Structure 1
Amino acid sequence: MNIQKTAFQTNHIFYKILLFVLLFSASAKAQIQKVEPPFWYAGMKNPELQIMFYGKNIAQYETSVSNNVAIKNVEKTENPNYLFVTIDTQNLKASELVFSFKANNKVAFTQKYSLKERRANSADRKSYDSSDLIYLIMPDRFANGNPKNDSNASLTEKANRTEPAGRHGGDIEGIIKNLDYISSLGATTIWNTPLCEDNDKQHSYHGYAQSDVYKIDSRYGTNEDYVRLSSEMHKKDMKLVMDYVTNHWGITHWMMKDIPTKNWFNQFENFTQTHHRREVITDIHASKIDQEVCVDGWFVPSMPDLNLRNPLVAKYLTQNAIWWIEYANLDGFRVDTYNYSDQTAMANWAKSITNEYPNFNIVGEIWMHNQANLAYWQKDSKIGAIENYNSNLPSVMDFTLQSQVTSAFNESEGTWDNGMIKFYNNFAMDYLYPNTNNILVFAENHDTDRMNDKFKYDFPKYKLAMTLLATVRGIPQVYYGSEIGMGGDKGKGDADIRRDFPGGWGGDKNNALTKEGRTAEQAQYFDFTSKLFNWRKSNEAIHTGKMTHYIPENNTYVYFRYNDKKTVMVVFNNNAKAQTVKTNRFKENIKNFKSGKDVLTGKTFDLATEITLEPKSALVLELE
């Protein structure tokens, strides 16, 4: 009888312990739904790490960390489902930490957290610069390397290639499989429009309304696929640029269902959309309400505006950016809608990143058509210094030049204001910029008119535009498909300027990704572009040399790029008729050179008296 009682008691205790363990495990799983950043790296210059724990009523628990790690701050908000814990990682080695969450002095559950080893020389990584050519890809429209991931049960919008503005199935695998094509064009760097999850019900293909900024959209692939893209590119000496968005997320972002704090997003009493008049940011006469609506208004109704003045938000975005750099081994950022956010917060964001990575390049989208407005936003701007402001943003996009490319080359007769004088006037304003070599130059991107459409598919005009981009100061960027003559009418909607690349999908009748598959017209475009930009790759006079240009005459324009070792003379004839350019005027730069060899045709031109150019043509002459 006593033996049976003892056995019963033993079993009873065993089952109570088992029940406790099961309940404890279930509690831990249910309690923590998200940890962001999901892991971090040892040896960062800024040792403070803010970890966000998300789970039901998690703020009621007291927190401690293993390994004698110091907790510098624990911040709770009015939402009890969030806990922001800041720890000091100074002198910590790669290891696994354990966070304990206590209630009534008893550990309710724990959470493991990894500090990983950084790559060797991670802080000193080289970024993209003026020696590069950036190839801009809209991944959903480039190539479908893995048809199995075209749709996902957990994401709303499914693949439908018959819908122009739908998901078409392009993915990371499609980019990886076509890296040789991109490299053969002369491109050294790829900028993809955002690849993080965008769970909008429609038009999610563009990626700018992100629903999870720590997760690659499964219709593009996985986080591991993105890391593999970076790795495969680096094997080919190519660089990967992430399109980063600081101003807004998507309406379907997981936080929108349970906002961490009321001022995580900018909100007015009634829905307020930005007026897009960003001149008010630097306007000394601007009203406060105009400035407030500009910065705090939502970009569109489906994109909640992030409040970077909230320190929790600012830290979250800074760490997210750094996490992607480390995790995916990135080579740079392009930042969307850069000056729609609070300018002080953005300066701090950029400074935090470049403090960790001194050579890391970040180009901001400042979509304005005035050089002073653009130059204000580049790091160390003298214009910004008037207001004691430094953006810390290394690079800006040259939208003033972009708008001239698709207009000037359509103007076959030069006047006081039209034709090649537009380029002269643009570069005459370069004194405003702190660093003209580090400006992104382009004729088009995923938001603008397509260049070939604006030129009515006139190949000579395309050649003029590409020659300009390849030989002026700055970092050239080419939009996917233009190099094979692709176009699109923005008047028909954004989807038309974001068409599928022919050959990117199995069954495409035309495969322009291969030499054999290109039509004669596509080959004409590609061969010219490839020869031009592959020549540019090794020409330091173009990358970092000085520039001297001459006032256009008769709609012709001449400039020189040069350093101590090489001089390149670029001559444009923007007329519908042949033109002869007298060389005596350019003796200042021609000096004792006798001839110039055209890098595209191999033809040699005598510089003694004059050069004759065909209609709508350009020469790129290496002087000898």
Structure 2
Amino acid sequence: MKKIFLLVLFISSQLFAQIDKVEPPFWYAGMHNPEVQIMFYGKDIAQYEVAVSNAIIIKNVQKTENPNYIFVTIDTKNIQAQDFVFSFSKNKKVTFTKKYSLKQRRQNAALRKSYDASDMIYLVMSDRFANGNPNNDSDKSVIEKADRKNPGGRHGGDIEGMIQNLDYIQELGATALWPTPLCEDNDKRYSYHTYGQSDVYKIDPRFGTNEEYLKLSSELHKRNMKLIMDYVTNHWGSEHWMMKDLPTYDWLHQFPGYAQTNYKMTTQFDKNASDIDAKMCMDGWFVKSMPDLNQSNPLLLNYLIQNAIWWIEYADLDGFRVDTYSYNDKVGIAKWTKAITDEYPYFNIVGEVWMHNQAQMAFWQKDSKIGAIENYNSYLPSVMDFTLQDAAGTVFNEDEANWEKGMIKFYENFTNDFLYPNPNSIMTFVENHDTNRLNTIYKNDFKKYQMAMALIATVRGIPQLYYGSEIGMNGDKSKGDSEIRKDFPGGWKGDANNAFLKSGRTEEQQKFFDFTSKLFTWRKTNEAVHFGKMKHYVPENNIYVYFRYTDNKSIMVIMNNNVNSQSLKTSRFQESIQNNTSGKEIISGKSIDLKSDILIEGKSVLILELN
């Protein structure tokens, strides 16, 4: 009878102490920072004492006000890849155990080369690009099911759709892929954008599996292309599993509960800002369905650092784009960024700093002299050039120039490059998944599209192309976000128009595609537009001329923003033309005589490789 009682007691203790979550689920040997903090989650797990096998040292055990969590930090210095066992004891008796793995890293994992100015990034809205596997459109483990008729619903785009169309992306001249977030978002509706994540260690089953994400990375690398993860540090979704049982009250910013951000990012560095305004920017929630994470909580911050590093190692990632970077606690996000770049010295991270002033954006770039005034360094390698995007959305409709309109806007944008510690590491773009479509702004005017693409292809920085622009896709944001995130034609079985194939494109789509492909394929081969210096000339008569050059190569870009053709005297540019007598126009292939005046059509651009 006593044996039966003990057996029942043992079984009940096993059920009582079941571990529901272990995060990170495994780790890697040989990391720069040898300490890893492992979170165990299960009913009343904090009542147990923890030990570990194989002579591994436990540096710290931290329990919180929630008895369902325990955070165990171990030291993996000089520990080889292996499995070992955590034991959980009560009254000096082991009640249950849990195996944990340290895995072998890829060779030279810490020295991985990230994306830079030699790359062109192709941004896809993951749910709207291509449905490669219709069988995963809906899944019983998540709430929202596929409904392509609903503009704001799940449409079925997935990882397999990206893999099946990598040849298309490569043909465009892209060298890096940025999909919008792929981790699970279990919101009841509008989950398709996946910025309200519910499990940051798991790919959303409607996109595929963790293994399929790893396959995407591998397939890109076979093509010498790169994978950029869209990472979210500022918030999770309201359906994140932790929201049901927070590790600590201050895991989130609580007021208590919800209060919305004031969106005033300038309060992060404004000397005159009130404390309450600064607090409401950093601590307020982006929207009610996205609880705001408290990066000043060391447990939460370390959780985010380790999650990011885990994905880099697991999926062999080549870079991050970080959503709403400047809404984070600025001290916490700097620690997060530094921890990752300490681990991976050449890893690029571009932060979304959606501001409209170069000095304010430059504040956020690594080693900023502006940030240094406030004794602040974000350690963020790259920011997004929103001021250039602002200008690109109006300039090509400004046919008559003055002190404030026309090509002078581009010129003035680049005059402020001195503010950036590293202007070559700025992401340039004319649209993305949150802005009006360029082709809507300019009513699918092909010449204006050519000028915009030529600009981001030839100025300093890292160009980013938004999916569908290259076939003339348009969308008016004022009608809702779904308008700027339409399904790519041909991404779904039965689509009448398959723009992934030359045979399926309309004449108009092919015109846009051919130009884009030729431009960015050429860009891959020209070092002058990757890391060359820039020299530009004050626009005259709404014509902007600039040069990109190295010791060995030089290109000349001429943009005529007038409606009519213009004759350009080359003598003014002699200091940049130097001994070159002609230039090859990279789209038409024509040779242009640099000793004579150049005739350039209205609303057009010439990109000349100088000979």
CA distance in 2, matches of 1:45, 1:426: 39
Q: How many residues align?
A: 611
CA distance in 1, matches of 2:177, 2:86: 39
Q: 1:531 aligns with which of 518, 522, 528?
A: 518
Q: Does 1:154 pair with 2:141?
A: yes
CA distance in 1, matches of 2:105, 2:257: 46
CA distance in 1, matches of 2:591, 2:382: 37
**What are the equivalent positions in structure 2 for 1:353-432 lying under 5 Å apart?**
353-432=340-419
CA displacement at 1:19 relative to structure 2: 5.5
Q: Does 1:277 pair with 2:264?
A: yes
Contact 2:282 2:328 survives alignment (8 Å): yes
Q: What secondary structure, in the 3-state scheme, does the structure 2 residue paired with 1:67 have? A: coil
CA displacement at 1:26 relative to structure 2: 3.9
CA displacement at 1:271 relative to structure 2: 2.9
Q: What secondary structure, in the 3-state scheme, does the structure 2 residue paired with 1:263 have? A: helix
Q: Does 1:520 pair with 2:507?
A: yes
**Matching residue of 1:53:** 40
CA distance in 2, matches of 1:126, 1:20: 55
Contact 1:96 1:113 survives alignment (8 Å): yes
CA displacement at 1:538 relative to structure 2: 1.2
Q: Does 1:439 pair with 2:426?
A: yes
Contact 2:61 2:72 survives alignment (8 Å): yes
**Matching residue of 1:543:** 530
Amino acid at match of 2:567: T
Q: Does 1:244 pair with 2:231?
A: yes
**What are the equivalent positions in structure 2 for 1:250-329 lying under 5 Å apart?**
250-269=237-256, 271-329=258-316
Q: What are the superposed Cα offsets for residues 203-255 of structure 1, whole Å, 9 maximum, x if unpaired?
A: 00000000000000000000000001000110011100000000000001000
CA displacement at 1:269 relative to structure 2: 3.5
CA distance in 1, matches of 2:28, 2:525: 36
**Matching residue of 2:330:** 343
Q: 1:218 aligns with which of 205, 209, 223?
A: 205
**Matching residue of 2:157:** 170
Q: Which moved more, 1:265-274 or 1:63-72?
A: 265-274
Q: What are the superposed Cα offsets for residues 468-519 of structure 1, whole Å, 9 maximum, x if unpaired?
A: 0100000000000000000101010000000000000000000000111110
Q: Does 1:130 pair with 2:142?
A: no
Q: What secondary structure, in the 3-state scheme, does the structure 2 residue paired with 1:428 have? A: helix
Q: What secondary structure, in the 3-state scheme, does the structure 2 residue paired with 1:175 have? A: helix
Contact 1:27 1:109 survives alignment (8 Å): no
Q: What are the superposed Cα offsets for residues 539-572 of structure 1, whole Å, 9 maximum, x if unpaired?
A: 1010000000000011100000000001100000
CA distance in 2, matches of 1:408, 1:583: 24
**Matching residue of 1:229:** 216
Amino acid at match of 2:75: D
Contact 1:334 1:363 survives alignment (8 Å): yes
Q: Does 1:595 pair with 2:582?
A: yes
CA displacement at 1:71 relative to structure 2: 1.0
CA distance in 2, matches of 1:118, 1:148: 33
Contact 1:430 1:436 survives alignment (8 Å): yes
CA distance in 1, matches of 2:12, 2:236: 36
**Matching residue of 1:9:** none
Q: Which runs of 5+ in 2 are unaligned?
A: none
Q: What secondary structure, in the 3-state scheme, does the structure 2 residue paired with 1:605 have? A: strand
**What are the equivalent positions in structure 2 for 1:557-572 lying under 5 Å apart?**
557-572=544-559
CA distance in 2, matches of 1:17, 1:76: 29
Q: What secondary structure, in the 3-state scheme, does the structure 2 residue paired with 1:355 have? A: helix
CA distance in 2, matches of 1:232, 1:214: 21
Q: Does 1:87 pair with 2:68?
A: no
CA distance in 2, matches of 1:120, 1:507: 44
Amino acid at match of 1:617: S
CA displacement at 1:609 relative to structure 2: 2.7
CA distance in 2, matches of 1:253, 1:15: 41
Amino acid at match of 1:456: K
Contact 2:16 2:43 survives alignment (8 Å): no
Q: Which moved more, 1:162-171 or 1:608-617?
A: 608-617
CA distance in 1, matches of 2:572, 2:282: 49
**Matching residue of 1:508:** 495
For the pair shown, the structure with the greater C-alpha radius of gyration is 1
Amino acid at match of 2:149: T
Amino acid at match of 1:502: P
CA distance in 1, matches of 2:386, 2:281: 20
Contact 1:161 1:169 survives alignment (8 Å): yes
**Matching residue of 1:481:** 468
Q: Does 1:463 pair with 2:429?
A: no
**Matching residue of 1:77:** 64
**Matching residue of 1:111:** 98
CA distance in 2, matches of 1:111, 1:410: 64
Contact 2:269 2:374 survives alignment (8 Å): no
CA displacement at 1:24 relative to structure 2: 5.8
CA distance in 2, matches of 1:121, 1:21: 46
Amino acid at match of 2:550: N
CA distance in 2, matches of 1:614, 1:282: 46
Contact 2:351 2:382 survives alignment (8 Å): yes
CA displacement at 1:14 relative to structure 2: 8.3
Amino acid at match of 1:233: L
In structure 2, the CA distance between the partners of 1:224 and 1:270, relative to structure 1 (3 Å rule), is: closer
Q: What secondary structure, in the 3-state scheme, does the structure 1 residue paired with 2:250 have? A: coil
Indicate the percent of aligned positions where both proteins have the same amino acid: 66
CA distance in 2, matches of 1:536, 1:205: 33
Contact 2:534 2:548 survives alignment (8 Å): yes
Amino acid at match of 1:527: D
Amino acid at match of 2:57: A
Q: What secondary structure, in the 3-state scheme, does the structure 1 residue paired with 2:296 have? A: coil
**Matching residue of 1:7:** none
Q: What secondary structure, in the 3-state scheme, does the structure 1 residue paired with 2:85 have? A: strand
Amino acid at match of 2:151: P
CA distance in 2, matches of 1:484, 1:386: 45
CA displacement at 1:465 relative to structure 2: 0.1
Q: What are the superposed Cα offsets for residues 121-165 of structure 1, whole Å, 9 maximum, x if unpaired?
A: 000001000000000001100000000000011111000000000
CA displacement at 1:20 relative to structure 2: 6.6
CA distance in 1, matches of 2:472, 2:430: 14
Contact 2:14 2:95 survives alignment (8 Å): no
In structure 2, the CA distance between the partners of 1:269 and 1:27, relative to structure 1 (3 Å rule), is: closer
CA displacement at 1:409 relative to structure 2: 1.1
Q: Which runs of 5+ in 1 are unaligned?
A: 1-11
Contact 1:274 1:293 survives alignment (8 Å): yes
Contact 1:547 1:560 survives alignment (8 Å): yes
In structure 2, the CA distance between the partners of 1:498 and 1:616, relative to structure 1 (3 Å rule), is: same
Amino acid at match of 1:71: I
Q: What secondary structure, in the 3-state scheme, does the structure 2 residue paired with 1:500 have? A: coil
Contact 1:42 1:117 survives alignment (8 Å): yes
CA distance in 2, matches of 1:523, 1:187: 17
CA distance in 2, matches of 1:504, 1:477: 21
Contact 2:258 2:291 survives alignment (8 Å): no
**What are the equivalent positions in structure 2 for 1:16-31 lying under 5 Å apart?**
22-23=11-12, 26-27=15-16, 31=18
